[in-house]
Amino acid sequence: MAQRVIHVGCGGWGAMWCHEFLPANVEDGTVEVVAAVDRNPDALENAHEGLGLPEDRCYTDPERAFAAHDAEFATLAVPPAERRPLVESALEHGLDLLTEKPIAPTLDEAIEIADLVEEADAKMAVTMSHRFDRDKTTLRRQIQSGEYGPLDYLVMRFTQRYRQRDEWVAGRPYEMDHPLLVEGGVHHLDLLASLAGAKCEQLYARTWNPEWSDFSGDSQVLVTMEFENGVRATYEGATTNAVALNGWENEYIRAECRDATLELDARELTAYPYDPDAEPRHNATGPPEGESIPLEDGEKWMNAWLVERFTEWRAGGEPMDTRIEANLQSMALIEAAMRSSERDEPIAVQELLEK
């Protein structure tokens, strides 16, 4: 039976929820969207068009929507700073929650929200969409298969050209202190941890903002990470480069395993197996001939898949990897990166959560 959901946030990225993520789950009977909410009446047009909701089921006041409908959970696609009061209101109405990343603007507030969810004996998860994209899922499963031996280290690159104001359609990041970390790093550092298969033990980061940038805060970042299982990773994140090389959903990731190099570049995955009998390539100008790995099949990916997984968890299935208590790791990574850059020193990530 379809689970009843109230969606909050229909403008900006919320439009994708109305036109793609939720409709994919409505069509196969996973969910029924009973109402939609946005403070901007114009944004509710996305709920009319994408979800087919009539005007009497579209609201500008979330409290009215929560009170008027017998729903089972709510989806929140609103900025992090607006999230806590919505969480509190939804919990008061007995709703579980599936929310966009990050949980909150700060690690402290994210922990407070996690405590509220635990006190209410509710379920809450976060849509870490990049981790559950088709190409990254294929890479993760290839690493976990053991076919290529143990993982040594990871390299990830995300580069965009957003240096002039309003080139980034979202607009909001130009006023943030750490736009790259909050909007991109929250996905990418989380993704590296999932590929490493362990919690991050120590992180060192340097963030800065070039003179040619229109951002108020730091728009570039370089990060090194060490995980509890011995895997290491480096991350290059940039939003003010001259050109975009590997932007949203097309990130470059290289996994160096004992028996092969796995390279994900613009959604194409290639394995370069180790050949102990091959001649050394002292003057190599590029990789040798590789083996193309087909991406895994699936009807849903990213947020659409996570909506389905959330309903399965609510129905008694396995807890989600991105449930709020587990996703505090992602918040801790961002907090650690900010502190590391400010202090110019490595940060013990797990100590942030212990404290």
Residues 305-318: tens digit of each pLDDT: 999 999 999 999 99
pTM (2 decimals)? 0.94
- The pLDDT tens digits of the residues spanning 181-218 come to 999 999 999 999 999 999 999 999 999 999 999 999 99
Listed range (50-59, 165-174, 230-239) with the worst mean pLDDT: 165-174
Asked, for residue 8, whether it belongs to a domain, the answer is: yes
Task: Label residue 285 by pLDDT band (50, 70, 90).
Answer: confident
Confidence of residue 107 (pLDDT cuts 50, 70, 90): very high
Statement to judge: residues 23 and 86 lie in one domain? yes
Q: Kindly state whether residues 142 and 256 are assigned to the same domain.
A: yes
106 in the same domain as 56: yes
Q: Looking at the predicted structure, is the pLDDT value of residue 355 above 80?
A: no
**pLDDT band with cut points at 50, 70 and 90 for residue 33:** very high
Same domain, 189 and 88: no
15 CB neighbour count, 10 Å cutoff:
19
Average pLDDT (2-19) is 96
Average pLDDT rounded to a whole number, residues 288-296: 96
- Residue 283: per-residue pLDDT: 87
Domain-ending residue, one of 73, 89, 122? 122
Out of 122, 143, 170, pick the residue that ends a domain: 122
278 has pLDDT over 90: no
Taking residue 269's Cβ as centre, other Cβ atoms within 10 Å add up to 22
> Of 76, 102, 122, which residue is a domain's last?
122
Asked if residue 258 and residue 144 are part of one domain, the reply reads yes
- Over residues 258-271, the mean pLDDT reads 98
In 3D space, the residue among 274, 254, 259 whose CA is nearest the CA of residue 149 turns out to be 259
pLDDT, position 279: 85
Same domain for 146 and 232, yes or no, is yes
Mean pLDDT of 90-109: 95
Range of the domain at 255: 131-297+342-349
Based on the domain organization, do 44 and 173 belong to the same domain?
A: no
Nearest Cα to Cα of residue 36 among 1, 11, 2, 12:
11
